Amino acid sequence: MIKRLTSAAKRVVGLHTPRRNLLILPDDIFLVSYPKSGNTWTRFLIANLLHPDKPADFATLYKLVPDPGGTPKRIFDRLPRPRVIKSHECFEPRYPRVIYIVRDPRDVAVSQYHYHRKCMKIEDQYPINKFVARFIAGQVCSHGSWGENVGTWLATRRHDPASQRLLICCRRRPNVVLQTECENWSRPKATCRH
């Protein structure tokens, strides 16, 4: 009962997180990746490019490049447009423009392994080979397997080359690509990179 009252009170004052109920605007840009693929690092780059007058740190990042699962709705309502929004979702057709970060799955698996150890989701001595097998099967992350998540975006791009979706590989000079794309965001369509 108290949990429901608290939730209702948060909704009234806009302190709830919108999650999948986020009102998506036509000029929104989504920064999407499978977890542990460099999304936070890229959010810092984008925040510094778009807001050079505001310090981008862990205390302010949720206001500069917000996450619908962790940023209150009232902050989304106050953001200047176009908004750059973080996501880990599989393909979402409602997203008007997307920067999709692809990281080598071997690096993602190792990063997730250490993250799970740090958060005590697994024991420090948990064998990495068992973790990798679970990673490949999509059993370590609520967003499915790396292949499923990345595959939804790659398949969509392949079938709709004129779409405004953009893929970025973290290993291919991301600072140069991001600078170019940030300059293009003021234009009606983003350029697709192959």
Cα-Cα end-to-end distance for the chain: 52
Is the whole-model pTM more than 0.85?
no
Report the distance separating Cα 22 and Cα 174, nearest Å: 28
CATH class for the region spanning 27-103+146-184: alpha beta
- CA dihedral 55→27→37→53, nearest 10 degrees, is -10
The confidence score (pLDDT) of residue 167 equals 59
Q: How many CA atoms lie within 13 A of 97 on its CB side?
A: 20
- 158 vs 67, higher pLDDT: 67
Domain spans in the chain, listed from the N-terminal domain onward: 27-103+146-184
State the Cα angle at 110 between 35 and 42, rounded to 5°: 40
Confidence of residue 155 (pLDDT cuts 50, 70, 90): confident
Backbone conformation region of residue 19, classed left if phi is above 0, alpha if psi is from -120 to 50, else beta:
left
Dig out the tokens for 64 from the structure. Answer: 């500069």
Confidence of residue 21 (pLDDT cuts 50, 70, 90): confident
State the Cα angle at 131 between 112 and 85, rounded to 5°: 25
Answer yes or no: is pLDDT of 58 > 80.
Answer: yes
Q: Model confidence over 83-133: pLDDT tens digits?
A: 999 999 988 888 888 888 888 899 999 999 999 999 999 999 999 999 999
Report the distance separating Cα 166 and Cα 79, nearest Å: 23
